[in-house]
């Protein structure tokens, strides 16, 4: 495969799918108390979520360093691979900027510009995962780098993602509330339904978890009607709700989701336990 897809740790695709697609990852970081860890190295997730729920010691997150990216890029380039590096939205993280700076350093050392491209996915989690599926499909077909990058960017234009949070409190504390800022204050007890278009954007406020779930089902119907028949479901510490959403989605789409999974600590630190989300795009974007 002449083009290798590099990404970060916030897609939360199932590990077997990551291996199958040949994706390479650069991890973001989580700091809890005095301990700083790569998200990809975190193994005691039940303890992490318990500390999140207690609220006593909320984690912070940080982007990979330029050196982290160089450590991933350089061996691939030396082995003859071209690189498409796709990362979570620049509107919510500096990860994309770190990747750009790493590329700039390589170009200063004489690397040909056409050997590495960096793409802002303008999304995260399942949306990033679906975009990676699209990019990997074209890369595995032997397409050149610029063509793979163009198809990945085109897939983003056809991608839609919604998610519902149990509370806005974690977004408020983490400063990632984006366009939902107007909902902060007396609205913390609502169930916010949000989308991500470079930054977090408000969609709707509902009062109960049951109503929020049914609105997510309605959204799947809209996705299907609009031709977005490749879909996914992700959650944070809400496996039963996620499986209920999958069951309803199979009825609507007439097919299994491309993947189902749990969101990890970096995004979980800002979204909080209880999140469920669904995304989709037309299957022809995935070849």
pLDDT band at 64 (very low <50, low <70, confident <90, very high): very high
| CA gap 101, 87 in Å, rounded | 13
Mean local confidence (pLDDT), 240-255: 98
| CA 197/CA 89 separation, integer angstroms | 9
Residues of the chain with CATH 3.30.1180.10: 160-286
Q: What is the mean pLDDT of the chain?
A: 92
In a 13 Å sphere around the CA of 255, the CA atoms on its Cβ side amount to 11
Q: Is the pTM here over 0.85, yes or no? A: yes
Percent residues over pLDDT 90 in the chain: 76
Q: Give which of 278, 203, 185 is closest to 235, Cα–Cα.
A: 278
How many beta carbons lie within 10 A of that of residue 142, not counting itself?
11
Fold of domain 3-49+58-157: Rossmann fold (3.40.50)
How would residue 162 be classed by pLDDT, with cut points 50, 70 and 90?
very high
Where do the CATH 3.40.50.10170 domains begin and end in the chain?
3-49+58-157
Render pLDDT for 145-159 as a digit per residue (tens, 0 to 9). 999 999 999 999 999
**In CATH, what number does 160-286 get?**
3.30.1180.10
Question: Quick check: 205 and 187 in contact, CB under 8 A?
Answer: yes
| Per-residue pLDDT tens digits for 189-240 | 688 899 988 778 888 888 899 999 999 999 999 999 999 999 999 999 999 9
DSSP code of residue 70: H
Comparing C-alpha atoms, which of 50, 63, 122 is closest to residue 93? Answer: 63
Between CA 273 and CA 265 the distance in angstroms is 10
Strand partners, 163: 194, 277
Residue 171, pLDDT above cutoff 80: no
Report residue 54's pLDDT band, with 50, 70 and 90 as the boundaries: confident
């Amino acid at each position: 495969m002449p083009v290798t897809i590099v990404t970060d740790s916030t897609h939360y695709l199932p590990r077997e799918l990551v291996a199958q697609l040949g994706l390479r990852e650069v991890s973001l970081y989580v700091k809890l108390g005095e301990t700083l860890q790569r998200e990809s190295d975190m193994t005691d997730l039940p303890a992490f979520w318990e500390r999140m729920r207690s609220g006593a010691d909320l984690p912070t997150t940080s982007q990979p360093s330029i050196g982290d990216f160089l450590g991933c890029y350089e061996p691939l380039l030396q082995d003859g691979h071209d690189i498409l590096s796709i990362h979570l939205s620049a509107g919510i993280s500096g990860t994309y900027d770190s990747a750009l700076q790493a590329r700039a350093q390589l170009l200063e050392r004489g690397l040909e510009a056409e050997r590495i491209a960096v793409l802002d996915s303008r999304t995260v989690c399942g949306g990033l995962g679906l975009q990676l599926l699209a990019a990997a499909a074209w890369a595995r077909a032997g397409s050149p780098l610029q063509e793979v990058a163009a198809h990945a960017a085109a897939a983003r234009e056809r991608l839609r993602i919604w998610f519902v949070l149990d509370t806005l409190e974690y977004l408020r504390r983490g400063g990632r509330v984006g366009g939902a800022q107007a909902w902060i204050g007396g609205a913390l007890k609502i169930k916010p339904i949000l989308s991500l278009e470079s930054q977090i954007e408000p969609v709707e406020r509902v009062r109960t978890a049951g109503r929020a779930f049914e609105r997510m089902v309605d959204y799947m119907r809209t996705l299907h009607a609009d031709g977005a028949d490749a879909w996914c479901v992700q959650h944070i510490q809400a496996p039963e709700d996620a499986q209920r959403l999958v069951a309803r989605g199979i009825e609507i789409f007439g097919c299994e989701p491309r993947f189902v999974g749990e969101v990890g600590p970096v995004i979980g630190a800002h979204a909080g336990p209880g999140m469920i989300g669904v995304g989709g795009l037309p299957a022809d974007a995935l070849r």
